[in-house]
């Protein structure tokens, strides 16, 4: 579906506003190397990417997003601090026909700075808030760092904490793991049989009995996985009180100031939350300094868990009231992504995108 003239006009307006805010305009190739992107974007985008093969460049994909290529560019030759903006089409396959297009415009703003991450978070959110104010959107915010801190504070094994952290962005899988680790879900008969067979004899015999090796895992990796499964089967359950506190955290939804108070109350019995809550409080204070009304922001502790897997701090979005439109805008903090792409270097970074096609629909009253 071609991008409408109204969407193009909105994109140009937003792009100019980002440049006026001090961002340097950059471009990225529409066709991107697929290997790194598929690893970084997460299961949602992986399943919706347009992937092809190039005889000289290998597996390639149509650009599903700008952030990863912009981070790659910055980590290769960018100066610190830096602010970038961009505008262009992105491509995502959709499972069914509806309001979400498979080709649409994104306009984005990214900040790379080592100074005061709370102020940088507030800068991006406030800029988007002011640009979208005429549309009267609903603003939502979360913090992946708070969820990570809660998981890291659980009294359980490193193996279980790592599994829960890996599945923070997959809510159903995370819930199934938490219920199993907390003893709230009995193991299936198939799992019991599998564990019994793994414990019945040497791993080498199991591998030999399974037939020819298929896939990329070698015998050592298979043996390590078997050992981990058997160790986990003997691990005591996560204490019911800790699991219940994590349940309350995940269900928390409230205006931002009230949410912070509720999180502080949880931290009395879950002290691992405190450093991340100090960061959240600093961010809210920075927003208030810029004139943002905190009471209009809904803090949802689970917000962003279905978003890009590279976010590791602030996550935010702006939504039209009613209808079935995608978010008008979304973004967040992705410090860990710069470490992954920086080859030993890193820099705190935060940014977000606006969908000018959605903005155009709302302005025209067609949503």
Tens digits of residue pLDDT in 285-329 = 999 999 999 999 999 999 988 767 889 999 999 999 877 889 999
Backbone angles phi, psi at 19, to 5 degrees: -65, -40
- Residue 269's alpha-carbon distances to 151, 245, 324, in angstroms, are 14, 8, 39
Measure CA 112 to chain center: 18
- Residues 205 and 150 sit within 8 Å (Cβ to Cβ): no
Secondary structure of residue 121 in the 3-state scheme: helix
Spatial distance between the Cα atoms of 274 and 265, rounded to a whole number of angstroms = 10
pLDDT at 215 > cutoff 90: no
Spatial distance between the Cα atoms of 360 and 270, rounded to a whole number of angstroms = 45
Residues 336-357 have a mean pLDDT of 92
Element (H, E) at 128: helix 117-132
Secondary structure of residue 48 in the 3-state scheme: coil
What's the DSSP call for residue 62?
Answer: E
Count CB atoms within 10 A of the CB of residue 159.
Answer: 13
Nearest to 238 by CA among 152, 175, 172, 157: 157
Average pLDDT score, the chain: 87
The pTM assigned to this predicted structure is: 0.87
Identify the structural domains of the chain with CATH numbers, from first to last.
Answer: 1-115+348-367 (3.30.930.10), 184-236 (no CATH)
84-127 confidence digits (pLDDT tens): 999 999 888 766 555 567 888 999 999 999 999 999 999 999 99
């Amino acid at each position: 579906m071609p991008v409408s003239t109204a969407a193009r006009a909105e994109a140009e307006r937003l792009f100019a506003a980002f440049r006026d805010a001090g961002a340097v305009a950059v471009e990225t190739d529409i066709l991107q190397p697929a290997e790194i992107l598929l690893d970084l974007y997460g299961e949602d985008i992986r399943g919706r990417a347009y992937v092809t093969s190039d005889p000289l460049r290998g597996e390639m994909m149509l650009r599903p997003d700008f952030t990863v290529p912009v981070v790659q560019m910055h980590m290769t030759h960018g100066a610190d601090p830096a602010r970038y903006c961009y505008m262009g089409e992105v491509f995502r396959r959709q499972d069914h026909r509806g309001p979400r297009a498979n080709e649409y415009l994104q306009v984005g703003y990214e900040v790379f700075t080592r100074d005061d991450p709370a102020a940088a978070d507030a800068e991006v959110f406030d800029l988007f808030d002011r640009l979208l104010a005429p549309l009267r959107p609903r603003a939502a915010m979360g913090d992946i760092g708070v969820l990570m801190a809660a998981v890291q504070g659980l009294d359980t094994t490193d193996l279980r904490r790592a599994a829960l952290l890996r599945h923070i962005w997959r809510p159903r899988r995370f819930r199934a793991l938490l219920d199993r680790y907390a003893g709230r879900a009995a193991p299936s008969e198939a799992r019991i049989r599998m564990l019994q067979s793994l414990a019945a004899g040497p791993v080498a015999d199991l591998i030999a009995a399974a037939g020819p090796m298929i896939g990329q895992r070698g015998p050592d990796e298979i043996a390590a996985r078997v050992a981990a499964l058997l160790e986990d089967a003997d691990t005591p359950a996560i204490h019911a009180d800790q699991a219940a506190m994590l349940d309350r955290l995940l269900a928390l939804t409230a205006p931002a100031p009230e949410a912070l108070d509720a999180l502080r109350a949880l931290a009395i019995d879950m002290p691992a939350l405190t450093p991340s809550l100090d960061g959240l409080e600093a961010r809210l204070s920075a927003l208030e300094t810029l004139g943002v009304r905190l009471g209009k922001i809904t803090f949802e502790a689970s917000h962003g868990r279905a978003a890009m897997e590279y976010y590791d701090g602030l996550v935010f979005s702006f939504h039209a009231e009613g209808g079935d439109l995608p978010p008008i805008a979304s973004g967040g903090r992705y410090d860990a992504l710069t470490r992954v792409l920086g080859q030993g270097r890193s820099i705190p970074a935060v940014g977000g995108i606006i969908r000018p096609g959605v903005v155009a629909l709302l302005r025209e009253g067609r949503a």
